[in-house]
Amino acid sequence: MEIIDGRKIAAEIREELSQRIGKLKEKGVTPGLAAILVGEDTASLSYLRSIARGCEKVGMLMETVELPKNITQEELDKQIGELNQDPKFHGIILQLPLPKHLDTLRAESAISPDKDIDGTNPVNTGKLLLGEETFLPSTPRGVQELLIRSGHSPEGQHVVICGRSNIVGKPLMGILMQKRKGANATVTVCHTGTKDLPSITRQADILVAAMGKAKAITADMIKEGAIVIDVGVNQIEDPATGKFKLVGDVDFEAVKEKAGAITPVPGGTGPVTSAMLMINTVKSAERTNK
Amino acid sequence: MAKILDGKKLSTEIRDELKQDIKSLKEKGIIPGLAGILVGDDEGSATYVRLKEKAGEALGIHSEAVRLSKDTTEEHLLQEIDRLNFDSEIHGIFIQLPLPEHIDENKALNAILPEKDVDGFHPMNVGKAWLGQEAFLPATPDGIREILVRYGYSNLKDKHAVIVSTDNLVGKPLASILVQEGVGANVTLCHSSTPNLSDYTRQADILVVSVNKAKFITASMVKEGVIAIDFGANYIENPADSTKKKLVGDIDFEGVKEKAEAITPVPGGVGPMTITMLLCSTVKAAKIMSHRQS
């Protein structure tokens, strides 16, 4: 059984990126990423800090624009508009969830498609599905990259995705079903209401868990030798110590005995997701400075 | 013996309902307008455009066909699209595909205002539909959805839908309709070249096929009680009359109907629904625009 090391893969990607960033810097361009955070949320802040550290390592600019939680939609639109115009930034991400009084889709649609490096503007979602050139959302794109780089290409495989969210399940289906290299899979998307879920998950050559439910995928739900990718991030209390710890949607200890390869949580898909944000920001900077 | 999902009959029903909608719009002074753009002289495409035009007129939709020669430049086509985008009498615009090779199809489709894109091919509409937002849907998957709903298959939560087609016209947008939260199914998207395809098709509670391979899906490839939807159109030799070709679908109708709970025939299944759904979208576009103005 093989543990797929997301941190190592992310480091490889950053290494490759350093070269591209070096070339941009020769032209006097530093790729810049702006993150918008509405309200104070410690989990979001620590996530954005980890992205900032990654950017710093490769010489990219990253700034978090912190906005008050009672900001109006109009003010948020205006802030996004200013970032759209700011030549310092080649990529803009909007940290979710937003406070309830704000319309997420409207805010995402306000990000210029050319700077929408996390592919959340519906125009970019549409292009993804149609197979046109666009920025692909970082989490599902990271899953694809992790599979390819660990030598488990999804081509011709049956990929079963548990969870049909707009940020993971649906775009991942859209990416992996395209007729092209590194994709071309037969894809099934399941949800929590799926009748007899194990009968579907046991068919998976590649199983992607993205339902946001701690240890929901157990050993009896996978087939021998399956590749298991865990996108879940759940905080649970360790009964022995009373401390909180991070676990995925997969029961790692039991499943790893049966799987052909598996990603750990933390240290699996997470670091690759951040690396994808960086790749897309660099790509955007390269486009505007051809 | 399976229930026959009669698209022709449904289509007539829906067009009757549309007449009422159009009548009430007219009382408010609004005549829904649909413009179709045809480039070149392909006979099949010309027929389609004429059929859509006539069907619209029969319901009282203002129909306009813009026929351009096959050597029309991309620039000229984009100008025509723009003219229609700004024409307040036109609520829906479609481009009859395929376009001649010297024209970038994506560029043309993306030039249509999303609010008038009644074929639902603009990335903005594709993206919104995928995200579960209100959007115009392409006519074929929209017609399949309508057939399912009108025959009582609207809650698909515990169903497994298997789609054999991954193209932009049918497979992808249909997945986007069926995968949504709430009433959506478990969805598997297969290519016609998926290894061990029958392993998947045999699991299907709802099976949708659009690969244009005559009688590609046989009875042994489906399970007892399947709801089988066929959007194939294949002309094969007619054993009864060698001078005429016969139209068949991608599903072996005679064989599969013995096992299915419900099945669409070819012809008379999904086909007749497509133009009707285009007209529905045009009326919807006119309603939305009239709300905005009032």
Mind listing the domains of chain B with CATH numbers? 29-113 (3.40.50.10860), 139-271 (3.40.50.720)
- Whether B127 and A129 lie within 8 Å, measured CB to CB: yes
Does the pLDDT at position B293 exceed 80? no
Co-location of A98 and A154 in the same domain: no
Residue A188 lies in a domain: yes
From chain B, the residues in CB contact with A166 under 8 A are 131-132
Mean pLDDT across chain B: 96
- Whether B127 and A177 lie within 8 Å, measured CB to CB: no
- pLDDT, tens digit, 9 for 90 and up, residues B166-209: 999 999 999 999 999 888 899 999 998 899 999 999 999 999 99
Co-location of A161 and A260 in the same domain: yes
Residue A59 lies in a domain: yes
Co-location of A74 and A145 in the same domain: no
CB B163 within 8 A of CB B187: yes
Co-location of A84 and A162 in the same domain: no
Co-location of A147 and A260 in the same domain: yes
Co-location of A171 and A261 in the same domain: yes
Co-location of A104 and A162 in the same domain: no
CB A101 within 8 A of CB A45: no
Q: Is A122 on the interface with B (CB under 8 A)?
A: yes
Q: Which of A129, A130, A187 sits opposite B188 (nearest CB)?
A: A187
Q: What is the pLDDT of residue B227?
A: 98
Q: Which residues of B248-281 are buried (b: 16+ CB within 10 A; e: fewer)?
A: bbbbbbebbbebbebbbbbebbbbbbbbbbbbbb
Residue A145 lies in a domain: yes
Does the pLDDT at position B294 exceed 70? no
Total of domains in chain A: 2
CATH code: domain of residue A75: 3.40.50.10860
Residue A16 lies in a domain: no
Co-location of A90 and A177 in the same domain: no
Structural domain range at position A245: 138-269
Minimum CA–CA partner of A134 in chain B:
B123
- Whether A123 and B123 lie within 8 Å, measured CB to CB: yes
Residue A285 lies in a domain: no
- Whether A191 and B194 lie within 8 Å, measured CB to CB: no
Q: What is the pLDDT of residue B292?
A: 79
- pLDDT, tens digit, 9 for 90 and up, residues B1-27: 899 999 999 999 999 999 999 999 999
Query: Which of A130, A187, A205 to probe by mutation at the B interface, max B CB count within 10 Å?
Result: A130
Give CA A220 to chain center in angstroms: 27
Which of B248, B191, B253, B193 is CA-nearest to residue B222? Answer: B253
- pLDDT, tens digit, 9 for 90 and up, residues B213-237: 999 999 999 999 999 999 999 999 9
- Whether B168 and A130 lie within 8 Å, measured CB to CB: yes
Co-location of A160 and A251 in the same domain: yes
Q: Which of A126, A179, A200 sits opposite B125 (nearest CB)?
A: A126
Residue A186 lies in a domain: yes
Q: What span, in angstroms and rounded, lies between the C-alpha atoms of A35 and A94?
A: 6
Does the pLDDT at position B130 exceed 70? yes
From chain A, the residues in CB contact with B169 under 8 A are none
Co-location of A51 and A158 in the same domain: no
Q: Is B186 on the interface with A (CB under 8 A)?
A: yes
Residue A121 lies in a domain: no
Q: What is the pLDDT of residue A104?
A: 95
Residue A37 lies in a domain: yes
CATH code: domain of residue A232: 3.40.50.720
Co-location of A157 and A264 in the same domain: yes
For chain B positions 132-171, those within 8 Å of chain A (CB to CB) are: 132-133, 157-160, 166, 168
Q: What span, in angstroms and rounded, lies between the C-alpha atoms of A228 and A268?
A: 11
Minimum CA–CA partner of B168 in chain A:
A130
- Whether A186 and B128 lie within 8 Å, measured CB to CB: no
Predicted interface score ipTM higher than 0.90: yes
CB B81 within 8 A of CB B37: yes
> How far is the alpha carbon of A200 from chain B, nearest alpha carbon, in Å?
10
Co-location of A163 and A231 in the same domain: yes
pLDDT, averaged per 10 consecutive residues of chain A (290 residues), comes to: 96 96 97 97 91 95 97 98 98 96 96 98 97 97 98 97 96 97 97 90 98 96 98 90 92 97 97 97 94
Residue with tokens 């399912």: B148
Minimum CA–CA partner of A174 in chain B:
B172
Taking one residue from A and the other from B, the number of pairs with CB-CB distance under 8 angstroms is: 103
